[in-house]
Structure 1
Amino acid sequence: MEQLQQLSASFANAVWGTPLVALLLGGGLFFAFYSRFLPYRHFGHGIGIMLGRHDTPDQPGDLTHAQALAAALSGTMGLGNISGVALAIVAGGPGAVFWMWISALVGIATKFFTCTLGVMYRGKDSEGKLQGGPMYIIREALPRRFYPLAIMFSLAGLVGTLPIFQANQLTALVRDNLFDGGDPQLTSFLIGCVIAALVASVISGGLSRVARVAVTLLPLMVVTYLAMTVYLLILHFEQVPGLLADIVGSAFSPRAAGGGLLGIMLIGISRGVFSNEAGVGTEVMAHGAARTNEPIREGLVAMMGPVADTLIVCTCTALVILLAGNWQNPGELSGITLTANAFREDLGSLGAGLLMFITLILASTTMFTMWYYGAKCFGFLFGARLQRYYQWFYIGAVIFGASVSIDVVFNLISGSYGLMAIPTMIASLMLAGRVKAAAKEYFHRHPY
């Protein structure tokens, strides 16, 4: 197991090196300046679209704008916001949170461009059904010589969208709070089987059922989680300014945890991207299913994801963890258990219980959406007709993820996410001019 952990860590570190961070951060800055900050200037219009003011039920696609955003957020707003933040702080200190913020700010522009392209260049799968995603953008919009990038994205997507991280952390939380004693491996396996049955019951209904579940459960869980964190921050309001100052100051310290300034940047940006998925390409697959013929509208809806996901929810989580203070000496606490312990400090067993319930919902909705992403990658590689067999592989991965080491799981998924980002960002940068031209034409027709 130790050798497997070392291999997985080497894989993740090799992928998430300076070149990839420069691609994501530099690409996002390019999109922001190239568009003259258009996504940021039209944020209000994006909210109006999300609220259904411009829904077009007679146009092609499977989801409304709100459902597409909910489906995308259910894939991003989950354990990355709860346990991923804890992992980032333990690895890189408070300064990692600052670089998560930066990834979200530039991610707004990145999501606008990538998700606009997801609708602009939808393609048909082997059964003639309209699909969106980086692999279809590459196939439909770029010369044939770039087709290997579509294959690269889909292969990495088969691994990066596996539910093993969510299953692992959800199992750890349930096991540690409800099952004291007994054989941990057997307990984890049994919990994994129950989670797998829950996932199977939802994904058997396809994307529409996944979106309906996400739209129903996600807002309630996020509001409940934010209420818990805001309550704790009010209790310790006098400490919050100092924590925020520590986050900013630590981000630029050459002696920062995680290997100095460059190390803290790499940790924060990689964890931020793991949380909000800007530039990875998974979100493009969800928004590519939106029921619209206006690509710019879907890009404006998609850009709200990093704000809700990272700037709001992840910040609340980070402040709660920093308030508790045990991130410096976590002991056996890791990821979700560290976050749960932070809530237990002030809210006792009620806080841990509420967090377990919220995590159950958030992790489950993430696993539902990740199935859709993985199935699309599988269908692109092997044919849409065979996608139904992917369900069984995915359900098996839930059980597997419940029983393995968190370090191996996180490194494997994180590294694969990085590989997915390479073709997504390359294609989006090459096609940025078409998005800018479409935006100019759209706002000429709709002068908001």
Structure 2
Amino acid sequence: MNQIHDALSAIDSFIWGPPLLILLVGTGVFFTFKLGLLQFRHLPTALKLVFGRSSDDKSDGDVSSFAALCTALSATIGTGNIVGVATAIKLGGPGALFWMWMAALFGMATKYAECLLAVKYRQVDEKGQMVGGPMFFLLNGVGSKFLATAFAIFAIGVAFFGIGTFPQVNAIVDAANISFGVPRGLAALIITVLVATVTIGGIKSISRVASKVVPSMAVFYVVACLSVLISQSEHLMAAVSLVITSAFSNSAATGGFAGASIMLAIQSGVARGVFSNESGLGSAPMAAAAAKTNSCVRQGLISMTGTFFDTILICTMTGLALILTGAWKSDFAGAAMTTHAFATGLNSASFGPMLVTIGLMFFAFTTILGWNYYGERCVVFLMGTKAVLPYKIIFIALVASGAFLHLELIWIIADIVNGLMAIPNLIGLLLLRNVVVEETKAYFSASVGVAEPANS
């Protein structure tokens, strides 16, 4: 077992080394300046599109733009926001949160570009459903069947062995067992039945559940986090200062955290940030492609808010709660560390942990639903709609088995397949950069009173 762990750790370190980190952040930086700081200048516009009344109900697509965003958020707002943040700060110190911010701010431009391309190059499958995502813009835009196939295979790997199953199921059964005493086997059975019930209905069923659950659970968790932050408000500025200073200095602390270098803070912050918001992975475009819209730019703007909600808001609150309460220096790890932070911050040994448990279970469950859909779209691309049922059977079987794997091994496997999935997607984005710029210029030129983004 140790040999397997060591081998996977070596692969993980290689994949998530400087080249991929540079490619991930560099792509975001490139699009940020190529599009004239679009994610900063047009974030208010994007938020208005998210919460405003849609005029695209009669447009091509399967679900509303809001439902498509909720489907994407159902996959991104998950254990990364609770367990992933704790793991990043445990490994890289408070400075890891700063690098999560940087990855998210630049990642918003990446998310905008990949979702724009998904809508532009989407098509209709033999069942009349909209399909799109990196595999389609790699095939039809870039003209590379190899990159398209590689992305689809790696994405199925993420759905089966990465974000889609093992980390989420493990988090749910652990939380249910610790907080409510539910046996792991029973918890695994219940979640398997629930996943099977929802996913059999496809995108419309998943988006219907996501549209109801995602906003509710996000508000619930944000309120819980705010309660902790308010209770520790006198130390808030000191915590923010610690995050910033730790990002640029070697830091050390007592307790469970032995010390971290700047590179480790960057690596853990970016890797966990990407795990959480999935900017650059190519997952959200598959949900965006199903949106009822006649504007690829409009959907790109809506989709990029997902990274803002996920990391800039929710991950930040979790991270500050961990730092303010001192939980990051404790001997706890993962969900147990966040639970300890809430118990300390709310001065309640039962109420605080229960909030974390409920939030974690809902977050993880909807992430499973979202990734079931992503994997299904890739299976359709590779083998057609006839392969959907076998895929769902395998996916549900993996959900059932995810409760019995070791946590550390789960995160290593998830990191590996995430990194492999990002590579062909990012290559495609850079090759199609001119398409993104031209579509963006055309959209904002046609919008009265909105300045045209720079393209130089």
TM superposition score category, shorter chain reference: over 0.9
User: What's the offset of the Cα at 1:258?
Assistant: 6.8
**Per-residue CA distance 1:281-337 (angstroms, 9 max, x = gap):** 00111111111121000000011111111011001101111123232242xx32112
Q: Percent identity?
A: 36
**What is aligned with 2:398?**
397
8 Å CA contact 2:173–2:188 kept in 1: the answer is yes
Q: Give the AA of the match of 2:369.
A: F
**What is aligned with 2:454?**
none
User: What's the offset of the Cα at 1:188?
Assistant: 2.2
**What is aligned with 1:161?**
159
**Per-residue CA distance 1:214-253 (angstroms, 9 max, x = gap):** 1111111111111111111111111111111111111111
> 1:423, 1:130 → 2: CA distance?
22
Q: Give the AA of the match of 1:342.
A: A
User: What's the offset of the Cα at 1:255?
Assistant: 4.9
**What is aligned with 2:177?**
175
**What is aligned with 1:195?**
191
Match of 2:290, SS?
coil
8 Å CA contact 2:91–2:264 kept in 1: the answer is no
> 2:320, 2:45 → 1: CA distance?
31
> 1:302, 1:286 → 2: CA distance?
9
TM-score when scaled to structure 1? 0.94
8 Å CA contact 2:62–2:130 kept in 1: the answer is no
Structure 2: tracts of 5 or more residues without a match = 253-257, 451-456
> 1:234, 1:226 → 2: CA distance?
12
**What is aligned with 2:21?**
21
**Per-residue CA distance 1:192-230 (angstroms, 9 max, x = gap):** 111111111111111111111111111111111111111
**Per-residue CA distance 1:137-189 (angstroms, 9 max, x = gap):** 1111112xx22111111111112123111001111111112228xxxxxx323
**Per-residue CA distance 1:114-133 (angstroms, 9 max, x = gap):** 11001011134465643111
Matched, 1:208 2:204: yes
8 Å CA contact 2:130–2:289 kept in 1: the answer is no
8 Å CA contact 2:28–2:106 kept in 1: the answer is yes
> 2:337, 2:199 → 1: CA distance?
30
**What is aligned with 1:183?**
none
8 Å CA contact 1:96–1:247 kept in 2: the answer is yes
8 Å CA contact 1:117–1:137 kept in 2: the answer is yes
**What is aligned with 1:184?**
none
Tell me which of 130, 149, 152 is aligned to 1:151: 149
Q: Give the AA of the match of 1:169.
A: A
Match of 2:350, SS?
helix
**What is aligned with 1:118?**
118
Q: Out of 391-400 and 52-61, give the one that drifted further.
A: 52-61
8 Å CA contact 1:127–1:385 kept in 2: the answer is no
**What is aligned with 2:453?**
none
Match of 2:349, SS?
helix
> 2:395, 2:207 → 1: CA distance?
18
> 2:90, 2:38 → 1: CA distance?
36
Matched, 1:96 2:96: yes
In structure 2, relative to structure 1, the CA distance for the partners of 1:408 and 1:125 (3 Å cut) is: farther
In structure 2, relative to structure 1, the CA distance for the partners of 1:178 and 1:2 (3 Å cut) is: farther
**What is aligned with 2:304?**
303
Q: Give the AA of the match of 2:313.
A: I
> 2:49, 2:171 → 1: CA distance?
34
Q: Give the AA of the match of 1:435.
A: V
Matched, 1:11 2:11: yes
In structure 2, relative to structure 1, the CA distance for the partners of 1:5 and 1:88 (3 Å cut) is: same
> 2:44, 2:251 → 1: CA distance?
40
**What is aligned with 1:235?**
231
> 2:271, 2:72 → 1: CA distance?
19
Match of 1:348, SS?
coil
> 1:99, 1:290 → 2: CA distance?
31
**Per-residue CA distance 1:250-281 (angstroms, 9 max, x = gap):** 11114567752222211110111111100000
Q: Give the AA of the match of 2:184.
A: S
8 Å CA contact 1:165–1:406 kept in 2: the answer is yes
8 Å CA contact 1:86–1:338 kept in 2: the answer is yes
> 1:154, 1:225 → 2: CA distance?
33
Give matches, 1:360-371, under 5 Å: 360-371=361-372
Q: Give the AA of the match of 1:357.
A: I
In structure 2, relative to structure 1, the CA distance for the partners of 1:268 and 1:335 (3 Å cut) is: same
8 Å CA contact 1:4–1:408 kept in 2: the answer is no
Q: Give the AA of the match of 2:233.
A: F
In structure 2, relative to structure 1, the CA distance for the partners of 1:21 and 1:6 (3 Å cut) is: same
Matched, 1:60 2:60: yes
User: What's the offset of the Cα at 1:7?
Assistant: 2.5
> 2:54, 2:221 → 1: CA distance?
30
> 2:239, 2:209 → 1: CA distance?
36
Tell me which of 183, 204, 217 is aligned to 1:221: 217
In structure 2, relative to structure 1, the CA distance for the partners of 1:69 and 1:248 (3 Å cut) is: same
8 Å CA contact 2:68–2:288 kept in 1: the answer is yes
Match of 2:327, SS?
coil
In structure 2, relative to structure 1, the CA distance for the partners of 1:129 and 1:237 (3 Å cut) is: closer
8 Å CA contact 2:93–2:260 kept in 1: the answer is no
Q: Give the AA of the match of 1:160.
A: V
**What is aligned with 1:287?**
288
Q: Out of 52-61 and 411-420, give the one that drifted further.
A: 52-61
Match of 2:329, SS?
coil
Q: Give the AA of the match of 2:90.
A: V
Match of 1:303, SS?
helix
Tell me which of 248, 257, 282 is aligned to 1:252: 248
**What is aligned with 2:47?**
47
Give the number of equivalent residue pairs: 438
In structure 2, relative to structure 1, the CA distance for the partners of 1:276 and 1:26 (3 Å cut) is: same
8 Å CA contact 1:258–1:267 kept in 2: the answer is no
Give matches, 1:326-345, under 5 Å: 326-330=327-331, 333-345=332-344
Structure 1: tracts of 5 or more residues without a match = 181-186
Q: Out of 150-159 and 14-23, give the one that drifted further.
A: 150-159
